[in-house]
Amino acid sequence: MFNLDIRTLFVVSTLISVFLSVASFVYRRTQTTYPGFGNWVIANVCVLFVYLLFALRGYIPDLLAIPLPLALSVFAAIYRWRGLQKFFDRPGSSAEVVLWTALTFVLLSVFTFQYDSPLIRNCIYSAILTYVVAGTIHTLYKIPDRRYRPLIRFFTTVYVFGGLALLVRAVLWLLYPVGKSLLDPNFMNILFFTAVPLMEISWAATFLMLNSRRLEWDMSEMHAQMEKLASTDSLTGVFNRRRFFEIGEKEVDRARRYNRPLSVLMMDLNEFKLLNDDMGHCAGDHALCELTRICQENLRKPETIARLGGDEFAVILPETDLTGAREVAKRLHKTILSSPARICDQEVFLSLSIGAAALESSDRSLEQILQRADVSMFQMKKKIRTLKNPAYEPAQPVVEQIPEPF
């Protein structure tokens, strides 16, 4: 019924394995790969030799034609399993690879040369591979990352199909006394050795997609981190000057387009240099972080705070007119004065100068609003400098009156 030569199938499978081996090797040499990918490259090479030795059966010694290729196929299957464990950071033992490969080789050698029984060889081989397939499916099932789920489902489906093919082949060998030669062109041999190369292609393609998908996600996360680093102040964690102006210009355009109010605050720690000189730069850094924390806790979500440089901060207040901006500034000012910062094992009360300015019809950029807020801030700073108490007096805070206008 079947005129197809099994040896021809082995030759075709060998060529397929050559392609998969070369492709995976070149990919690993030219692309970014993750732990476990090397296992799949080596496994593909092993499978290549498995089919080659099968194709040469009858022309080479039985040791090289029967137990060796079968043991190599077990090694390839377990080594792939170990590769998946590495790829997904799952626990696994490399010693198990050697143990099962050696056990397979010894048992198959015994039932080839001591007790020649193709049936027992097939049962041993199928049982060991079924264990490996089940272990691989279990590893895939335990992957917690939902991003891999579509690929994992396909991967698992192929492995389930492979496990079923092994079991069906083993059962048919037990039920029917014919067709127990590897080279016999019967239905189960042709079906099995046609399906296996297709599964090899599916496994290789899926693992390649897993690696590519992980690389894509890592690159996306790295890009997001770089964007964050480029737009965030490394000390305080708030936006930096560059990002502040990007957001601010958009808010100015929106406010002008829809005729909505917009205000800006400029803030500066008083006597910051004196604080650094007396208590150290570490104390100054801590003071900046405390200022940022307090401001973030007292600002609404749409209101954006940024560190422009040194001890200078700015806040964008969308949908806020000048009167509202002054109220926000007073609230921040009083909160800072009444909230001691723990610096160098002592409570320090900080003092803040704040200036406010609102968008006017003549404004064409955020810079113009900031300049007016800056002038207003320095008016307040001049008043505070007339006080005798230092800005960071570690006793009771100095309660300044915020000058009008800002």
List the domains of the chain with CATH numbers: 6-229 (1.20.1070), 241-385 (3.30.70.270)
pLDDT of residue 396: 39
pLDDT of residue 177: 59
Can you tell me the distance from the alpha carbon of 43 to that of 268, in angstroms, rounded to the nearest whole number? Answer: 64
Contacts of 321 (CB under 8 A, 6+ apart): 261, 263, 358
- SS3 call for 122: helix
| Percent share of the chain, pLDDT over 70 | 92
| Six-digit token string for 24 | 């995976």
- The answer, yes or no, to whether residue 352 has pLDDT greater than 70, is yes
Can you tell me the distance from the alpha carbon of 190 to that of 170, in angstroms, rounded to the nearest whole number? Answer: 14
Structure confidence by residue, pLDDT tens digits, 262-318: 999 999 988 888 877 777 778 888 888 888 988 898 898 888 999 998 889 999 999
- The answer, yes or no, to whether residue 392 has pLDDT greater than 50, is no
Name the strand (E) or helix (H) holding 54.
Answer: helix 37-55
Q: Count the neighbouring beta carbons within 10 Å of the beta carbon of residue 86.
A: 17
- SS3 call for 320: coil
pLDDT of residue 387: 57
Handedness of CA 279, 282, 286, 288 (dihedral sign): positive
Q: Which of 171-185, 236-250, 255-269, 275-289 has the lowest mean pLDDT?
A: 171-185
- The answer, yes or no, to whether residue 73 has pLDDT greater than 70, is yes
pLDDT of residue 180: 59
CA trace torsion 261, 354, 231, 146 (10° rounding): -70
Can you tell me the distance from the alpha carbon of 162 to that of 134, in angstroms, rounded to the nearest whole number? Answer: 10
pLDDT of residue 406: 46
Can you tell me the distance from the alpha carbon of 42 to that of 21, in angstroms, rounded to the nearest whole number? Answer: 8
- SS3 call for 246: helix
Tell me which of 181 and 382 has the higher pLDDT: 382
- The answer, yes or no, to whether residue 3 has pLDDT greater than 60, is no
- The answer, yes or no, to whether residue 2 has pLDDT greater than 80, is no
- At 371, is the pLDDT very low, low, confident or very high (cuts 50, 70, 90)? very high
pLDDT of residue 229: 84
pLDDT of residue 1: 44
- At 405, is the pLDDT very low, low, confident or very high (cuts 50, 70, 90)? very low
Most confident of 2-6, 107-111, 126-130: 107-111
Place of tokens 């692309």: 31
| Six-digit token string for 186 | 């019967």
Can you tell me the distance from the alpha carbon of 406 to that of 399, in angstroms, rounded to the nearest whole number? Answer: 17
Can you tell me the distance from the alpha carbon of 351 to that of 272, in angstroms, rounded to the nearest whole number? Answer: 9
pLDDT of residue 46: 94
- SS3 call for 352: strand
Across-strand partners of 309?
312
Range 221-241 average pLDDT: 89
Buried b (16+ CB within 10 A) or exposed e, 382-393: eebeeeeebbbb
pLDDT of residue 266: 94
Range 237-266 average pLDDT: 93
Range 14-20 average pLDDT: 92
Q: Which of 189-193, 227-231, 267-271, 315-319 has the lowest mean pLDDT?
A: 189-193
- At 178, is the pLDDT very low, low, confident or very high (cuts 50, 70, 90)? low
Contacts of 17 (CB under 8 A, 6+ apart): 44, 47, 48, 50, 51, 197, 200
Residue type, 305: I
Q: How many CA atoms lie within 13 A of 53 on its CB side?
A: 19
pLDDT of residue 184: 74
- The answer, yes or no, to whether residue 47 has pLDDT greater than 90, is yes
* Burial (Cβ within 10 Å: 0-12, 13-18, ≥19) of residue 167: middle
Mean pLDDT of the chain: 86
Residue 110 is classified by DSSP as I
- The answer, yes or no, to whether residue 391 has pLDDT greater than 80, is no
Phi, psi of 103 (to 5 degrees): -60, -45
| Six-digit token string for 383 | 């008043």
Q: Which of 353, 401, 398, 359 is nearest to 376 (CA)?
A: 353
pLDDT of residue 270: 84
pLDDT of residue 148: 87
Can you tell me the distance from the alpha carbon of 354 to that of 375, in angstroms, rounded to the nearest whole number? Answer: 10
Tell me which of 48 and 187 has the higher pLDDT: 48
pLDDT of residue 397: 38
- SS3 call for 274: helix
